[in-house]
Amino acid sequence: MNQENNVGVLRIKKTSKRMGKAKYSKYGYFFVAPFIIAFILFQLYPIIYTFVLSFTDLAGWETKLDFVGVKNYVAIVKNSHFIRALQNTWIIWVINFVPQIAIALMLAKWFTDTRIKLKGAGLFKTTFYMPNIITAASVAILFYTLFSYPVGPVNQILMKLNVLAEPFDFFRSKTGTRLIVAFIQFWMWYGSTFIVISAGILGINPSLFEAARIDGASSWQIFKKITLPLLRPITLYVLITSLVGGMQMFDIPFLLTNGAPDFAVETLTMYIYKQAFTGNRNFYVAATASIVLLVIVLLISLVIFKFMNRHNKEGVNK
């Protein structure tokens, strides 16, 4: 009799707990609701609407949508302005990302090496990260003044050092302007990349480094055989986020020269902006270019992820 009573009490308790969980779990929906609503209104709906627009001929002040099939996608891949903007975006991103990841790795290795014990590491980290918190407008004005023609500080210094015989107009040179934009991107973001990679290195089990040192491994061997392989997930994150950010590059080239000279630094997002909000307001071209950009970023991210994941599995199996 007592056993039956105990079983009954336990059942009542379990039922009460389930009811309590069910009662309070509904509040979770209230907490996530703002994010879901904001996501639907400001991200999902614009993406779907942009996708729909890419199959229409909407332009100017028209409001009626006339569907034209895949005509816009056929036209965009033959559009020389679009191709040039895509090339510019890739060139500037590659020029700034390669030295950015290399220097960030070098600094991270240096600052996390317990044998070196650098003094003032916090101050250096803050200094490296500082350009990332300066507004793009301020950075654009700063570099426009530094490289201005003919009396900018850079021109004056190069002439005093006899590197230049006469002032050089950097912003009339396609290569010069691209290098300046790429350098600004590098300067603004290498500190952030360095902090992320440093966090990744500090997350590796220190006993692995100690065991390698006891076995007589050099610093380079430890970095190559232990640090770099274990940093692959962090490197993948840095690569993907930098790629996404690089493909969306807009503020610096827009504020610095508005794409000049001869559209040398007109990026894909600048091309999309100009198509949608200037001139004939070709919304259908801007929408098509946006969807193509989205697909490019998704495909390349997927390829990078698969490539890195395969190497991780091969490393585990070895």
User: Is the CB of residue 168 less than 8 Å from the CB of residue 147?
Assistant: no
Q: Given this model, what pLDDT does residue 112 score?
A: 86
Instruction: Determine the average pLDDT of the residues in 48-71.
Output: 90
Kindly state the tokens that stand for 95: 């020029």
Kindly state the tokens that stand for 22: 């069910």
Residue 163 has pLDDT above 60, yes or no: yes
Q: Given this model, what pLDDT does residue 17 score?
A: 61
How far is residue 187's CA from residue 203's CA, in Å, rounded to a whole number? 26
Amino acid making up residue 258: N
- pTM for the whole structure: 0.83
Beta bridge partners of 56: 67
Block residue for tokens 């209230």: 30
Q: Given this model, what pLDDT does residue 114 score?
A: 76
Tens of pLDDT, residue by residue over 275-286, are 999 888 999 999
Q: CA 131: distance to chain centroid?
A: 16
Tens of pLDDT, residue by residue over 75-99, are 999 999 999 999 999 999 999 999 9
Mean pLDDT of the chain: 88
How far is residue 179's CA from residue 163's CA, in Å, rounded to a whole number? 18
Q: Which has more pLDDT, 115 or 284?
A: 284
How many CB atoms are located within 10 Å of the residue 240 CB?
A: 17
Q: Given this model, what pLDDT does residue 46 score?
A: 94
User: Is the CB of residue 234 less than 8 Å from the CB of residue 104?
Assistant: no
Kindly state the tokens that stand for 234: 């962090």
Q: Given this model, what pLDDT does residue 89 score?
A: 95
How many CB atoms are located within 10 Å of the residue 206 CB?
A: 9
Q: Given this model, what pLDDT does residue 160 score?
A: 93
Whether the upstream peptide bond of residue 34 has omega within 30° of 0, thus cis, is no
Q: Given this model, what pLDDT does residue 318 score?
A: 57
Q: Given this model, what pLDDT does residue 289 score?
A: 96
How far is residue 224's CA from residue 234's CA, in Å, rounded to a whole number? 15
Q: What are phi and psi of 287, to 5 degrees?
A: -65, -45
Residue 14 has pLDDT above 70, yes or no: no
How far is residue 305's CA from residue 237's CA, in Å, rounded to a whole number? 9
Residue 303 has pLDDT above 70, yes or no: yes
CB hemisphere CA count around 165 (13 angstroms) = 0
Residue 6 has pLDDT above 90, yes or no: no
Residue 197 has pLDDT above 60, yes or no: yes
What is the crossing angle of helices 80-112 and 283-317, to 10°? 40
